[in-house]
Amino acid sequence: MFSPLTLPNGSTIPNRLAKAAMEENMAAEGQSPGAALFRLYEQWADGGAGLIITGNVMIDPRALTGPGGVVLEASTPLEPFRQWAKAARRHGAQVWMQINHPGRQVMADMGGNAWAPSAVALDLGKHSKLFAQPVAMNAAQIAEVITRFADTAHAAEQAGFSGVQLHAAHGYLISQFLSPLANRRDDEWGGSLVNRARLLLEVVRAVRASVSPGFSVAVKLNSADFQRGGFSADDARQVVLLLNDLAVDVIELSGGSYESPAMQGRTADGRTLAREAYFLEFARELAAVARMPVMTTGGIARPAVAEQVLASGVALVGMATAMAQIPDLPQQWRAGHEPAALPAAVTWKDKGMASLAGMALVKRRLRALGAGGRAARSYSPFITLVIDQLRKNRLTRRYRKWAVRSAG
């Protein structure tokens, strides 16, 4: 776990433990990083992970996954981002900015663009109306998105980050293009898997051309969508083979989407996932054909499981919720301690609401760390969900005012 990893670009990650991305929704005024994010990332920097990946940073101010999201585009002032990178890198970890476009996974009350490969709305049952009706993208909009990914990656390097991770998982825009359920196009961006993967490949090429050779470029990819008829494990294998020909430094394997939240341990197609290291079976198979190091994330919280992941041929162990609970978990493991690092699961009958409550609990913990707290506390899922919704409403009003000012 504590041996270094040299990447294809020649840079080194000090150890094999990574703080995986979690959506913080903790942007300051103006959708920029502020003091709360700096404090949060200082705790992770002190915690001993060799790699720290930020929560997703949005490439387009008109399309956010949540109203507290950070936005970075070509014209964004970089000083707050420099402070963020400095806070996270202060003990030598590589720090990668996860960059993303949500596509159709945009809340309806936020306004803005719900661009998608096809006008196929999310199917979340009675919760479907919470999300905007998607609009099929034209060629100019696809070209704009590719340019925006490259611009954001270039800005991240200028700000002092050591890499970016392109989010092509969890049902966001690039993942939507990969999925035959969301992508019904009959042009060069749809149909065959090679066409559905075209956006991902073009984004990788554009990003790599916009940054220096030693800057890390990673991809977060679904091992499967876990929806019948969706992006399959065999599709993931074929995409990895396509990425082998590009300058990609790490592929992180995850899974699922808002419709099938496998990243939280639940699937829509009935497949059973492991209780820890949800996607290890898939990651082991893909690591066998990948030319670049592979990372997997999903419920890992014990050193024995981390060692099992590494022994299977996977190069990096990603931990998210466990490092929200215990930000110095790598240091604790190095010292021989094995603290319980996962909160109790939310087991409500309404799976959609349970998923929202689970995410709200993690975000509440992140805010506590950003406020300077350390010891994990036990929160009520119901009260936390209410707090989260009230906070979301306040941040949505703030975001919409900012978006109007920015557009003007």
Percent of the chain whose pLDDT exceeds 70: 93
More confident residue, 69 or 111: 69
Q: What is the DSSP string of 292-329?
A: S-EEEESS--SHHHHHHHHHTT--EEEESHHHHH-TTH
Q: How many CB atoms lie within 10 A of CB 315?
A: 21
Q: State the Cα–Cα distance between residues 281 and 286, nearest whole angstrom.
A: 9
- 336-350 tens-digit pLDDT: 999 989 888 899 988
Residue range of the domain that includes 93: 5-407
Task: Annotate 265-288 with DSSP letters as a single string.
Answer: T--SS-PPPPSSSTTHHHHHHHHT
Q: Taking the model in full, what pTM does it have?
A: 0.94
What is the percent of the chain where pLDDT is above 90?
79
What SS3 class is residue 27? coil
Question: Comparing C-alpha atoms, which of 77, 59, 23 is closest to residue 203?
Answer: 59
Q: Look up the CATH number of the domain holding residue 185.
A: 3.20.20.70
User: Distances in Å between the alpha carbon of 398 and those of 34, 72, 81?
Assistant: 15, 17, 20
**Amino acid at site 245:** D
Read off the amino acid at residue 39. Answer: R
Q: How confident is the model at residue 223 (pLDDT cuts 50, 70, 90)?
A: confident
- Strands 294-297 and 250-254, how do they pair? parallel
The answer to whether residue 256 scores a pLDDT higher than 90 is no
SS3 252: strand
The answer to whether residue 272 scores a pLDDT higher than 90 is no
Q: How many domains does the chain have?
A: 1
pLDDT in tens, 347-392: 998 877 888 899 999 999 999 999 998 777 889 999 999 999 999 9
Average predicted confidence (pLDDT) for the chain: 92
- 193's CB contacts (< 8 A; 6+ apart) are 178, 235, 238, 239
State the CB neighbour count (10 A cutoff) for residue 389.
Answer: 12
What is the predicted pLDDT for the residue at 112?
A: 83
Cα 271 to Cα 182, 224, 287, 358: the distances in Å are: 20, 11, 21, 21
Predicted pLDDT at 260:
54
Dist CA 321 CA 300 (whole Å): 9
